[in-house]
Amino acid sequence: MNVTLLVFALAVQQPQDTVVLKPVVVTATRVPVAAELVASAVTVLRGADLVAQGVRTVADALETVPGVHIAATGSVGGQTSLFMRGGQSNYVKVLLDGVPLNQAGGGIDLANLTTDNVDRIEIVRGPASVLYGSDAMTGVVQIFTRVGAGGTGAPRMGAELRAGTYGSTDGAIELLGGTPRVGYAARVSRFSSDGLYAYNNQYRNSVVNARVQLRPDPRTDMSLAYRYGDDVYHFPTDGTGTPVDSNQHAAERGPLFSVSARRVFAAHLDARISAGLKEARLLYDNPPDSAGDVTFWSRDWVRRATTSALVNWNSGTGTSLAWGIEYEDERQRGTSLFSASYGTFPDSVRVQRNTTGYFTQAVIAAGRAALTLGGRLDDNSQFGTHATYRGGLVYRLAAGVRLRASVGTGFKEPTFYENFARGFVTGNPSLDPERSRSWEAGIERGGIAVAYFNQRFRDLIEYNPAPPAGQPNYFNVDGAVADGIEIEGAGAFSRAVSGSLRYTYLHTRVVESGAPGDPDGLFVPGKSLIRRPAHTLAPQIVAAWSHRARVTIGALWVGRRDDLDFRRPVGQRRVVVQPYTRVNVAAEYGLGRVVLTGSAANVFNDQRQELPGFRVMGRVLFLGLRLAVD
């Protein structure tokens, strides 16, 4: 299979921006750096391409990125998790205009994160805690929203309306404009669907997104971003994927703010200060369907606030040195009640912790080589100090070949629930942060990139459903290993047709578990980590004519992977899930500013399950039109 991939990559010559590093990237080094100097594996997705492909959610955008696997519980709006390079689903830090979207401890559900107003998405694979602190164990995903700039200031209006199968509708209005000194963009969208199941499966997702950028003089720029999400998801399934509940639902709503300002003080010296806030009110309700049924409800308010300052010196020839300090405050308040025939278990939580991080990074460019060195010290109010580091080397050979290698560490603090849960589950305030150590090496030429990575995870947090009396349910174990190969190639076959191919090989292995005799455990010594496919393949072909018509045909093949099937008897739940294939087609045709759009997901209606017990969305068709702003 690898030989076929390399032959394909060598057959195409002109790289496309959707899979190749842009000239300058930000996320990998936290300051703008020429892509050829970056030692990390980076993929950049353009917002314009995502619009043309009919991609509505960030999860759908990420699922074909090398090293990434997305796992979703069936219907639209269901729990959607991100796994990168074999790590846990809470090992990737996700940011929107610099604001972390993860809850305390790294948990994030991507089901409600849309591509509204997205300019680009930068994906950095490998540990990045040296720049971003907790949660960046295996990578960082940063979403940058767009603004208008350089125009006459007159606003340009846009709109979009689509309708499709499963009773789905998707609509939006947007505004974009700017001058050389002020740029702005705003978008309001609403998506709704009747869902996959015959009852209690409605989903609604409403988003308001806006950003303003100011440039009062050539040395100063400022940015203000706002986003508000309001999501409601009804789902009939229990933990096995069986539809049994007629009134269970969950909701999340809340704002995000981001403000930053940058000032150039001298020819090679600038500073940036920024602040961000993400709040969410989480609701879950499961009233009894009949007499004697289980009752469970919860109400939570979570907040994550971050402030940072960064000073950056650059030589003008590639060498740069950055110093930064970051303060983060995390809080959660909530109450819940679980009631069944064997008892009632109320719970409440009111917790807060903060972290101050100090970091520095140097990029030293000398001739064909570039060396990156970075270190960080985090002082957490609960866990004390924690140090991380990263080093990387890039060497550019003749004929456009680039060699790179890097090594680094990462960490992730426990969730509030793992630390402080009471009632039906008992948390453990003495848990240590989870840790990772990784190294990788790669070679790149034009649109072709091949990389090998190796990661070791330590102090993994394991759950024991029946601990000894008086003992907590959560504890640390050591550890697991993940290594693999990522290959991507992209280029043009002709002036009208281009293509790309992405492949990931992943091997994971549990080294040690706290419950080695449990065949149904998450960590079984010698076994693979669950929900990590060994092989993933994603080809894509794009054909465009006269800048008016564009057709995109893409596929995703996900190989076998271990998982737990809770429909099976205790002791027999570990299963091997069969491969599945999803083929997607999207087309658009422009009539001036009006663009006719159509898309078909899972064209061949592949019903092989992604997660055991959970049904799969069948063929999903959408037709619509878009009034373009650009």
What pLDDT is stored for residue 465 in this prediction? 84
Percent of the chain surpassing pLDDT 70: 96
Residue 455, C-beta contacts closer than 8 angstroms, at least 6 positions apart = 85, 86, 87, 127, 138, 436, 437, 438, 481, 482, 483
- Top-confidence range, 40-44, 188-192, 510-514: 188-192
Q: Strand 92-96 and strand 139-145: pairing?
A: parallel
**Neighbouring C-beta atoms of residue 464, cutoff 10 Å:** 15
Give residue-wise pLDDT tens across range 297-334: 999 999 999 999 999 999 988 899 999 999 999 999 99
By CB atoms closer than 10 A (0-12, 13-18, 19+), residue 235 is buried
Provide the terminal-to-terminal Cα distance of the chain, rounded to the nearest Å: 41
The domain locations on the chain are: 2-337+345-405+414-627
How far apart (Å, rounded) are the C-alpha atoms in residues 310 and 261?
A: 11
What pLDDT is stored for residue 512 in this prediction? 87
What pLDDT is stored for residue 10 in this prediction? 33
8 A C-beta contact, residue 280 and residue 254: yes
What pLDDT is stored for residue 394 in this prediction? 97
Between CA 602 and CA 605, with CA 603 as vertex, the angle to 5 degrees is: 65
CB crowding 274-304: b at 16 or more within 10 Å, else e: bbbbbbbebebebeebeeeeeebebebebbb
Which of the four pLDDT bands, split at 50, 70 and 90, describes residue 7? very low
Cα 133 from chain centroid (whole Å) = 16
Please choose, from the candidates 56, 60, 61, the residue with its C-alpha nearest in 3D space to the C-alpha of residue 72.
Answer: 60
How far apart (Å, rounded) are the C-alpha atoms in residues 578 and 558?
A: 9
In sequence order, what are the beta bridge partners of 435? 411, 458
pLDDT of 388 over the 90 cut: yes
How far apart (Å, rounded) are the C-alpha atoms in residues 32 and 270?
A: 12
By CB atoms closer than 10 A (0-12, 13-18, 19+), residue 384 is exposed
Tokens of residue 29, six digits = 């080094």
8 A C-beta contact, residue 58 and residue 115: yes
Give residue-wise pLDDT tens across range 276-285: 999 999 999 9
Rounded mean pLDDT of 78-83? 95
What pLDDT is stored for residue 21 in this prediction? 39
Tokens of residue 600, six digits = 């078909």
8 A C-beta contact, residue 393 and residue 416: no
**Neighbouring C-beta atoms of residue 19, cutoff 10 Å:** 24
8 A C-beta contact, residue 62 and residue 114: no
By CB atoms closer than 10 A (0-12, 13-18, 19+), residue 7 is exposed
Tell me which of 14-23, 375-384, 526-535, 580-589 is least confident. Answer: 14-23
**Neighbouring C-beta atoms of residue 386, cutoff 10 Å:** 21
8 A C-beta contact, residue 614 and residue 74: yes
Residue-wise DSSP of 443-494: EEETTEEEEEEEEEEESEEEE-SSPPTT--SEEEE--EEEEEEEEEEEEESS
How far apart (Å, rounded) are the C-alpha atoms in residues 219 and 290?
A: 66
H-helix segments, 72-226 = 129-132
In sequence order, what are the beta bridge partners of 116? none
Q: Which CATH number fits domain 2-337+345-405+414-627: 2.60.40.10, 3.40.50.2300, 2.40.170.20, 3.30.70.100?
A: 2.40.170.20
Q: What is the mean pLDDT of the chain?
A: 91
How far apart (Å, rounded) are the C-alpha atoms in residues 604 and 587?
A: 17
Rounded mean pLDDT of 598-619? 95
8 A C-beta contact, residue 390 and residue 408: yes
Tokens of residue 533, six digits = 């496919």
Q: Strand 320-340 and strand 295-314: pairing?
A: antiparallel
Tell me which of 15-29, 404-418, 450-464, 495-509 is least confident. Answer: 15-29
What pLDDT is stored for residue 149 in this prediction? 76
- Where are any strands of DSSP class E within 315-400? 320-340, 343-366, 369-380, 384-396
Residue 291, C-beta contacts closer than 8 angstroms, at least 6 positions apart = none
Residue 433, C-beta contacts closer than 8 angstroms, at least 6 positions apart = 134, 383, 386, 411, 412, 413, 414, 459
What pLDDT is stored for residue 23 in this prediction? 60
Give residue-wise pLDDT tens across range 173-183: 999 999 989 99
pLDDT of 398 over the 90 cut: no
* Three-state SS at 625: strand
Q: Tokens 């949660």 appear where?
A: 135
Tokens of residue 230, six digits = 């309001």
* Three-state SS at 239: coil
From residue 207, give the alpha-carbon distance in Å to each of 6, 113, 172, 180. 41, 9, 9, 28
Which of the four pLDDT bands, split at 50, 70 and 90, describes residue 1? very low
